[in-house]
Amino acid sequence: MKRKLPHLVVLLGSLAGFLSVAVVDIGRTAPGPITRVHGALDELAQGESCASCHGGIFESMADACLDCHETIAEHIADGRGLHGFLSGTEVSRCSTCHSEHNGPGFPMVNAQSFRMAGVFDVQEFDHAMIGFEMAGKHLELACLECHEFAEHDLVPDGEHRFVGLSRDCASCHEDPHEGTMQTACASCHVQTGFEEQHFVTHEDVWPLAGSHAESTCLDCHEPETPYSLAALTARTDPMRPRDCVACHESPHRDAFVVGNASANGLSKDASCTLCHDPEVHTFRGELVPITAEQHAQSGFPLGEPHTGVECADCHAATNDAFRDRFPGRAADDCAQCHETPHGDQFDDDPFSRGRCVACHATTHFEPHAVSLDVHAQAALELTGAHASIDCADCHAIEDDSAIRRFRGTPDRCESCHSDAHDAFFARFGKQLAQTDGGTCATCHSTENFTDIPEPGFDHRRFTGFEVSGAHAQSVCETCHERTPEPDDHGRTFGRIVAHSGSPQACSNCHDDPHRGEFDARGLPRELDGRRGCERCHDTTSFRSLSHGFDHGLWTGFELAGAHAEVSCSTCHAPVSPSRAAALGGRTWSEARGSACNDCHADPHAGQFRRDGAVDCARCHSSAREFGELKFRHNLDSTFRLDETHSALACSACHEAVQVGEVEVVRYRPLGKECSSCHAMNQDVLRRPRRGK
C-alpha cells in the first residue's frame, strides 16, 4: 500500500497540469466573433469569458445558457412554452438551434431554429404547441402585433422576443367589465369576436338546447340582476339552475301546473318539461302531446266520450293566442263545443249554474238525467201523480222552431186541468192561498184530486157551513154522494146543489122530528144570532142542548118546582130505534100533555072536575110542594071560615071516604049548614060530640 502512494501523487499532479494548460488555451481561442446580442453584454464583450457560455470544468454548455436565460429554464422545468415542448435531448443542446460565433449580424433565433423545433414556417406557427389555442381574430394578426421584438437584433433590457407574454385577455384588451368579472374572459368569450359569447362551462350548469342555444347571454343574464354575469362570476357557491317560469310567463292555470307537478314529484316551477321539450324552438305551432292523466289536471278528464277525440279537434294547431287555443273549457261546459238544442232557455235560470250536466250525463245527451230532485229546482216540483208523467206531456215542441219548450211552461193547476168546481171558488180569489201551483193547491195535493190532505178543506170559509161535531165525523160523501159516472171534468164527487133549500139549513139534510112545532107563530125565529135548529141544538148531537132549552118558552109549560128536578125522560120516554125512524129521527116521545092529570092521577076522584076537566092549578102550584096549597078557603070556596072554623084542621071537615076501592078525602060536595056537620043537641047541658 505504501509503495502505491507515490505513483498516485504523480498521476494527479500531471492531470492538474494538463487541465490548467487546456483552460488557458480555451479562454484565448474563439472560432469567430459572437453575435451582437451576446456582444452587447459586458462580461462577454472581450471574448475572454468563454466559460460563461460554454460552462466550466463541472458545467455543461446547456447549463451555462440556462444560467442566463432563467425564463427558458423555468419553461423547460415546467413543460411550458416551445422549449418545454422539446424533448430532453433537444433542450440539452442549445447550439443545435441557436448557433454562435457567426458574427455580429447573425440572428440566433432564425428560421433554422424553428425548423429544428419542428416549425417549418414561422408565420404558420401553431400556438397549440405551447398550450395556447389561437382562433378567430387572433389568426388574422401578424406575429409582430403581439411579439413586438421578434425580429429585432437587440431586445431591450427587460423585454423578450417571444416569451413573457400573458395569455390573459386583459393584457392586450381593455376590460369593459372594469374588473367586476371574477372569471377568465375565455369562459364567456370566443376568439371570433367579443359580441359572440360562449360559456365553456354552461353545459355543466344547464345545457343550452333549442331556442336557448340561439339566445345571447344578455337575453338571460341582464345586467344588474341576480343572474347577471357579474353577479354569477362573483359567487363562490354554484347557483341552482333557473326554472322555466323564472324567464317564461306561464299561461297555464295554477291548478293544472300544481296538479301535474305533484303527480310527478316535482315542484310547481320545475314541471314545464313534463310537456314541453327544450329542443323545441317555440311554444306555438304544433300541439304538445300530453297524456290523459296530464290533461285531467286541467279539470277536464278525457273520459267517455272524449277518449277518441284528437287534440286538434278542440285545440287548433295555429299561431293564435294561447287563450284562443286553450280557453280553459270546463268539463261540464258542453256549450263551448256543442250547439245547444234549447236555444237560450237556460241562459239565466237555476240550471245555468249547472250547465248541461245538470240535466244530461257526461257520456251522452240521450236519455236525459233529469231526476225528480233536479226538476225540483224548476218552478214546479214533480210530486205525486206528476212524478210519473212523460216529459213531453208538459214540454211540447212549439211552432216550427223544433225547440222543445222547457222554460215558461205553465206551472199552475188550471193551466193543465179543467175546473171541476165550475168557477165556484173564483169569488174567493183574494182569500185563496197564492201557492206556486195555483189556487187549487189550497185544498188539493198532487197525489190525486180525491184525497184532501191536512189541514183539509175549510168548509166554513168557502161555503159558509162549518163542518163540526158529528158532521166532522162523517165522510164527505155523506153529503156529497158520488155519481156513478164522472162528468166532463172527470168529477164523481157529488154537488151540494143537488139538495133543495139552503145548504146551511139543517132541514136540508135532516127531517124535523118536531114537525114544525118550534116554528109556530109567536115563537122566536132567532136566538142570539142562531136560527132554525141551532136555536137549541149544535152539531155534536141532537140530544145535546148546548144552548139550553127554555121549556116554558117553547112549550108553554114552564118547568118549576119538582118538574125542574126530574129528568126529561120522566115526561118524554125514549123510543126504540125502529120507532124513531118512523118519527123522523125523533128519539124522545112527546109528553102526555101539559095538564097535571095528563101525567098525574086525580087523588080527588073527580071532585073538582069542571066541564070534563080537572084544573089542579086552581089549588096547587108546580113551584110548591104538592101539599102546599095556594087554595084560599074564604075566596075560592062557598064556605067562609069564621074564627072558630079557621082554627080547625082541614081533616076536621074533610074526612076520608071510600070510593070504590080507593080511599079519597071528601072535599065536595059538603053541606054548608051547621046541621050538615052539627046534630041537634037535646041536652044542652051535655056537650055534644065533635062533628055531630
Per-residue model confidence (pLDDT) at position 692: 45
Give the pLDDT confidence of 359-396 residue by residue, as tens digits: 888 888 888 888 888 888 888 888 899 999 998 888 88
Per-residue model confidence (pLDDT) at position 21: 47
Quote the CA–CA distance of 272 and 391 in Å, as a whole number. Answer: 50
Per-residue model confidence (pLDDT) at position 1: 46
569: its cell numbers = 125522560
Quote the CA–CA distance of 450 and 480 in Å, as a whole number. Answer: 12
Q: What's the whole-number mean pLDDT along residues 438-458?
A: 81
Which is nearest to 492 in space by CA: 556, 600, 438, 420?
420
Q: Indicate whether 4 pLDDT > 80.
A: no
Per-residue model confidence (pLDDT) at position 11: 61
Q: Indicate whether 144 pLDDT > 90.
A: yes
| Strand partners for 190 | 193
The conformational region for residue 345 under phi > 0 = left, psi -120 to 50 = alpha, else beta, is alpha
The angle, 0 to 180 degrees and rounded to 10, between the axes of the packed helices 70-78 and 61-68 is 110
Per cent of the chain over pLDDT 70 is 90
Q: What's the whole-number mean pLDDT along residues 663-670?
A: 90
CB atoms within 10 A of CB 673: 8
565: its cell numbers = 128536578
DSSP 8-state assignment for residue 135 = -
648 pLDDT tier (thresholds 50, 70, 90): very high
Q: b/e string for 153-165 if b means 16 or more Cβ within 10 A?
A: eebeeeeebbbee
Q: With contact defined as beta carbons under 8 Å apart, do 527 and 554 qualify?
A: no
314 pLDDT tier (thresholds 50, 70, 90): confident
Q: What's the whole-number mean pLDDT along residues 349-359?
A: 76
Give the pLDDT confidence of 73-93 residue by residue, as tens digits: 999 999 998 998 888 888 889
CA distances from 616 to 372, 544, 628, 631 (A): 84, 33, 12, 10
Per-residue model confidence (pLDDT) at position 336: 84
Give the pLDDT confidence of 578-625 residue by residue, as tens digits: 888 888 778 888 888 888 888 888 889 888 888 888 888 888 888 888
DSSP 8-state assignment for residue 478 = G
Q: With contact defined as beta carbons under 8 Å apart, do 144 and 134 qualify?
A: no
Which is nearest to 165 in space by CA: 197, 194, 138?
138
Q: Count the helix, strand and coil residues of the chain and give each as a percent rounded to the nearest 5.
A: 35, 5, 60
Amino acid at 177: H
Give the pLDDT confidence of 15-54 residue by residue, as tens digits: 555 555 444 454 456 788 888 888 888 877 666 678 888 8
φ/ψ of residue 658, rounded to 5: -95, 120
Quote the CA–CA distance of 378 and 350 in Å, as a whole number. Answer: 7
Q: Indicate whether 500 pLDDT > 80.
A: no
> Regarding beta strands 189-190 and 656-659, do their DSSP bridges make them parallel or antiparallel, or are they unpaired?
unpaired
240 pLDDT tier (thresholds 50, 70, 90): confident
Per-residue model confidence (pLDDT) at position 91: 86
Of 172-176, 282-286, 373-377, 569-573, the range with the lowest mean pLDDT is: 282-286
User: What integer best gives the mean pLDDT of the chain?
Assistant: 83
| Strand partners for 477 | none
